[in-house]
């Protein structure tokens, strides 16, 4: 598996290049963009600084070559606006990047593609991306990193207790987490062939927008309204079989249809983020399932919302189920391998005491109010406590940096022509 993108600890998107050579090779024969009228005309104004059409087209092309997740044009516009804000704030504090520092930054960037700087620059140039475009990308990142570490580093203090909690409990203690989208196509009696044909068709989708549209149209899961998008999930929290499916995907690719309870599931990988230390392994989960008659009817969903408002933890469900048949509440600890696949997947998306109402039973006639009570984990061998401490420090600095960047955006007049 190759990883295409991750977030740095200063909030800037840094691209991973395990497979970038393939992408570049496909583009080598492509001609450089043809100069058009007004190529150097301003298209965005950020405070007193302007961004030209040429810069926007160059950054878009570079992001396309590097297979950045999302829409390259939208991402290029966002990055260039943020770059201007970062450089302006850096200049206010007198931060400059020497030619030597820039060269080192470019060398580190190229090394992610297993290339030296000259090879990387040449590959970009053959595909139509000027070296100045790479320089601008790297320079803004270096300025921002120096700025936020200088301003916020002294406010961050990570002690041994923080490291211990990260190693034993925190989902931040993962080495890899994934950003995926999902579609669940219901299997209705007598319509299995139609569902399979639809699932096979969706599995051929290669764009994020195309998958999102299919999710809104066809998915029976609540996430369908959001285009099937799911928040970041630590890889080790996923069921083992699904973990292998996801890791076999490249960003943008869709899995083959997977049979689950009364449905066919498809997953699209949107992005992968790597951490700096060893993951924990989930060995068992304590969870509760409260069964509500009516499936996904308005009355059943209203009842689920009422229950959610009344419970803060799993034990509260005993009071909710009091006086009802014992079969309406299933509560207990189970090894991961004994948990039904669709339940295990939903639990992977939850934090402790969070709730999902995505599942049904009895051919859709019963709504499952699913609550994660506790996730039991063991720490993988080889955890580097110094690396954990550094990662936690970087995460805290990142939070400060993101707040600063949001404030700069709010305070700066930004005009898109």
Better pLDDT: 382 or 211: 211
Residues 150, 187: one domain? no
Q: What is the pLDDT of residue 238?
A: 86
Q: What is the CA radius of gyration of the chain?
A: 24
Better pLDDT: 322 or 33: 322
Q: Which domain holds residue 240?
A: 176-274
Instruction: Kindly state whether residue 24 falls inside one of the protein's structural domains.
Output: yes
Better pLDDT: 64 or 366: 366
Residues 129, 11: one domain? yes
Task: Return the SS3 of 92.
Answer: helix
The residues near 34 (Cβ < 8 Å, ≥ 6 apart) are: none
Among 251, 274, 297, which residue terminates a domain? 274
**What tokens were used for 45?**
């104004």
Instruction: Kindly state whether residue 9 falls inside one of the protein's structural domains.
Output: yes
Task: Count the residues in the chain.
Answer: 417
Q: What is the mean pLDDT of residues 213-238?
A: 90
Q: Indicate the pLDDT class of residue 387, thresholds 50, 70 and 90.
A: low
Task: Return the SS3 of 65.
Answer: helix
Q: What is the pLDDT of residue 185?
A: 93
Among 232, 251, 274, which residue terminates a domain? 274
Share of the chain above pLDDT 70, in %: 81
Q: What is the pLDDT of residue 37?
A: 52
Better pLDDT: 405 or 33: 405
Among 274, 308, 326, which residue terminates a domain? 274
Residues 120, 41: one domain? yes
> Out of 28-32, 66-70, 90-94, 324-328, which region has the weakest mean confidence (pLDDT)?
28-32
DSSP assignment of 141-202: HHHHHHHHHHHHGGG----HHHHHHHHHT-GGG-SEEEEEEEEEEE--TT-HHHHHHHHHHH
Residues 144, 72: one domain? yes
Please give the Cα distance from 248 to 255 (Å, whole number).
9
Please give the Cα distance from 35 to 128 (Å, whole number).
12
Q: Are 20 and 288 in contact (CB under 8 A)?
A: no
245: domain CATH number? 3.10.50.40
Better pLDDT: 394 or 267: 267
The domain total for the chain is: 3
Share of the chain above pLDDT 90, in %: 50
The residues near 282 (Cβ < 8 Å, ≥ 6 apart) are: 236, 237, 336, 375, 376, 377
* Strand ordering across the sheet containing 42-46: 49-52, 42-46, 414-416
Residue 319 phi, psi (nearest 5) = -70, -35
Residues 93, 130: one domain? yes
State the pTM of this model: 0.48
Instruction: Kindly state whether residue 292 falls inside one of the protein's structural domains.
Output: yes
Residues 203, 257: one domain? yes
Instruction: Kindly state whether residue 67 falls inside one of the protein's structural domains.
Output: yes
The answer, yes or no, to whether residue 386 has pLDDT greater than 80, is no
Q: What is the pLDDT of residue 399?
A: 81
Burial class of residue 101 (count of CB atoms within 10 Å of its CB; 0-12, 13-18, 19+): middle
Q: What is the mean pLDDT of residues 273-284?
A: 66
Please give the Cα distance from 20 to 13 (Å, whole number).
16
71: domain CATH number? 1.10.4030.10
Residues 238, 362: one domain? no
pLDDT in tens, 2-27: 333 333 333 333 333 434 444 444 44
Instruction: Kindly state whether residue 100 falls inside one of the protein's structural domains.
Output: yes
Task: Return the SS3 of 98.
Answer: coil
Instruction: Kindly state whether residue 165 falls inside one of the protein's structural domains.
Output: no
Task: Return the SS3 of 406.
Answer: helix
Q: Is 387 left (phi over 0), alpha (psi -120 to 50) or beta?
A: alpha
Q: Indicate the pLDDT class of residue 100, thresholds 50, 70 and 90.
A: very high
Instruction: Kindly state whether residue 160 falls inside one of the protein's structural domains.
Output: no
Mean pLDDT for the chain overall:
83
Residues 284, 241: one domain? no
Residues 186, 230: one domain? yes
Top-ranked range on mean pLDDT: pick from 156-170, 326-340, 381-395: 326-340
Residues 296, 365: one domain? yes
Residues 151, 19: one domain? yes
pLDDT in tens, 355-368: 999 998 888 899 99
> Out of 12-26, 51-65, 121-135, 254-268, which region has the weakest mean confidence (pLDDT)?
12-26
Residues 285, 338: one domain? yes
Instruction: Kindly state whether residue 346 falls inside one of the protein's structural domains.
Output: yes
Q: What is the pLDDT of residue 364?
A: 85
Q: What is the pLDDT of residue 165?
A: 58
Please give the Cα distance from 339 to 347 (Å, whole number).
10
């Amino acid at each position: 598996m190759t990883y295409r993108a991750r977030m740095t600890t200063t909030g800037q998107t840094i691209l991973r290049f395990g497979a970038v050579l393939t992408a570049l090779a496909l583009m080598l024969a492509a001609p450089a963009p043809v100069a058009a009228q007004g190529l150097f005309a301003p298209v965005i104004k950020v405070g007193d600084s302007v961004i030209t059409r040429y810069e926007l087209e160059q950054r878009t092309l570079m992001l396309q070559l590097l297979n950045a997740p999302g829409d390259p044009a939208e991402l290029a516009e966002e990055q260039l606006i943020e770059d201007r804000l970062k450089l302006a704030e850096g200049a206010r504090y007198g931060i400059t990047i020497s030619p030597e520092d820039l060269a080192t930054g470019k060398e580190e960037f190229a090394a992610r593609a297993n290339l030296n700087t000259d090879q990387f620059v040449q590959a970009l140039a053959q595909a139509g991306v000027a070296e100045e475009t790479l320089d601008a990308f790297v320079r803004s990142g270096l300025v921002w990193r120096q700025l936020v570490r200088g301003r916020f580093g002294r406010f961050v203090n990570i002690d041994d207790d923080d490291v211990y909690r990260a190693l034993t409990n925190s989902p931040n203690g993962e080495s890899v987490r994934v950003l995926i989208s999902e579609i669940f196509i219901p299997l209705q009696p007598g319509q299995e062939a139609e569902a399979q044909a639809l699932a096979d068709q969706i599995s051929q989708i290669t764009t994020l927008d195309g998958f999102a549209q299919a999710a809104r149209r066809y998915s029976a899961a609540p996430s369908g309204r959001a285009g099937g998008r799911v928040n970041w999930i630590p890889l080790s929290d996923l069921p083992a079989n699904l973990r292998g499916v996801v890791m076999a995907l490249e960003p943008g690719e869709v899995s083959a249809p997977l049979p689950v309870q009364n449905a066919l599931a498809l997953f699209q990988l949107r992005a992968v983020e790597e951490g700096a230390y060893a993951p924990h392994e989930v060995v068992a989960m304590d969870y509760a399932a409260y069964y509500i008659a009516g499936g996904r009817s308005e009355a059943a969903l209203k009842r689920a919302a009422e229950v959610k408002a009344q419970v803060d933890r799993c034990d509260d469900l005993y009071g909710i189920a009091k006086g009802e048949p014992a079969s309406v509440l299933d509560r207990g600890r189970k090894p991961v391998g004994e948990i039904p696949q669709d339940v295990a997947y939903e639990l992977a998306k939850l934090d402790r005491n969070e709730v999902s109402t995505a599942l049904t039973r009895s051919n859709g006639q019963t709504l499952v109010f699913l609550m994660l009570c506790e996730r039991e984990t063991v720490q993988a061998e080889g955890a580097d406590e110094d690396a954990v401490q550094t990662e936690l420090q970087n995460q805290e600095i990142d939070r400060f940096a993101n707040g600063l960047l949001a404030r700069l955006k709010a305070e700066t007049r930004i005009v898109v022509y």
